[in-house]
Amino acid sequence: MAINFPTSPANGDIHTAQGIQWQWDATGGTWKCQGVTGVYTLGIASASSLGGIKIGNNLNISASTGVLDAVMNLNNESISELTDVTFNNVTLDANNGNGKVLAWSQTLQAFAPVDQSGGGGGGGGSSTFVGLTDTPGSMGTAGQFLTVNSGGNALEFTAAPTGVTTLAALTDTDLTTVAPVGGDLLYYDQSSSNWIAAPFSINFIGGVDFATAPPTDGQVLVYDASVGLWKPGNQTGGGGGGGSGLTSRTTGTATATALADGGSQDLTITAAKTYALLKIQTSHAAWVTVYTSQAARVNDQNRLEVTDPQPGSGVIAEVITSDGALVPITPGTIGWNNDSTPNTTAYIKVVNKSGQTRDIDVTLHFVQLEV
């Protein structure tokens, strides 16, 4: 049994273990047995208990320091005894082993003797393509392709691929329904899921929208900032930029909803800053007055139907219509917006004269005169 000596003894201290006294010799730095002449047998060490050990092969204890060292001596060892080396049934002798080298075999998961091939400055290996272990042993014929074999572990020469050689032969092109002509481009047709030949069109350009409202004769491209797209629209303005500066006739409509007979309602119609008023139309019988501003409409609110407006009052035009009537303004009159910051608003007052509560549509027919 191991003796558990004190850890910090003073010179001459006595320690008793198993009936035997031990005295600490500080000069020699050791415990000395006292007054016992019997024989003590040291047990053999194990994983769970202390004891003596015997020095085996390739181990050495220094006589001067008592240090245990491992001694590596391969003089009489064989490389074949290594666990990651196999000769794989290859006999190495004067006739068969000359020039072989150890190379890693992925299949054997070990180093095995192989013939050394090639040379050069790379430390061994092939100096030619066909000399590699995973390439064809000889060069192919003209026009062949180099491909990976079916096993996925080497390269091989194969015949050049055959098949589609023209654009028209592809499965997602249609160049027969409409044959291409000079200047055509290849355009993807969403409806047929095919690429087709088509002449260049401005509709192919990104940022242009012809689908929502196809263009009509005389229209120009107008940028719609709300959607970030160029769209067909009527040309407005003129000036030094070229072109005629003329615009087409257009309309603007607003609706007085659930208007009682004899009742009035204020409306606004988007027209132009300045415009030529050509016609006024209503869906039902009504008295309609067009003004230059909100203030002019307010100032005119108490005027009777039988009283003419005063010059300079801001009244542009007024009509009394029957159901669905379209009243021409002859001669055409100039309408304009007189707000402090001119805009495209036309101010309208409509009085229901149909004899019952109605939704009354009011439409102005006009030509824009100011940008």
Of 323, 319, 293, the residue nearest 305 (C-alpha): 319
What's the predicted TM-score (pTM) here?
Answer: 0.39
CA distance 69 to 74: 16
Residue type, 162: T
Cα angle at 283 between 279 and 287, to 5 degrees? Answer: 65
DSSP per residue, 320-348: EE-TT-EEEEEEEEEEE--SSS--SEEEE
Instruction: Look at the domain 250-368 and name its fold.
Output: Jelly Rolls (2.60.120)
DSSP per residue, 80-120: GGSTTB--TT---STTT-TTEEEEEETTTTEEEEEE--B-S
Block residue for tokens 């007054």: 35
Q: How do the domains of the chain map onto residue ranges?
A: 83-88+99-137+145-162, 167-200, 250-368
Block residue for tokens 């000769």: 87
317 SS3 class: strand
Phi–psi pair at 129, nearest 5 degrees: -65, -45
CA distance 365 to 237: 18
Per-residue pLDDT of the chain (371 residues), as tens digits, is 678 888 888 998 998 887 888 888 888 788 888 875 555 666 677 778 777 777 777 777 777 777 877 766 656 667 777 888 887 777 777 777 677 788 888 888 888 888 775 444 444 566 788 888 888 888 888 888 889 999 888 999 998 877 777 888 888 999 888 889 888 888 888 888 999 888 887 877 888 888 888 888 888 889 988 889 999 888 765 554 445 567 899 999 999 999 999 999 999 999 999 999 999 999 999 999 999 999 999 999 999 999 999 999 999 999 999 988 899 999 999 999 999 999 999 999 999 999 999 999 999 999 999 98
Distances (CA, A) of 325 to 20, 95, 158, 293: 138, 120, 85, 25
The alpha-helical segments, DSSP class H, found in 207-316 are 294-299
Distances (CA, A) of 358 to 190, 289, 352: 47, 18, 8
DSSP per residue, 12-73: T-EEEETTEEEEEETTTTEEEEES--S---PPBP-SSS--B----TTEEE-TTT--EEE---
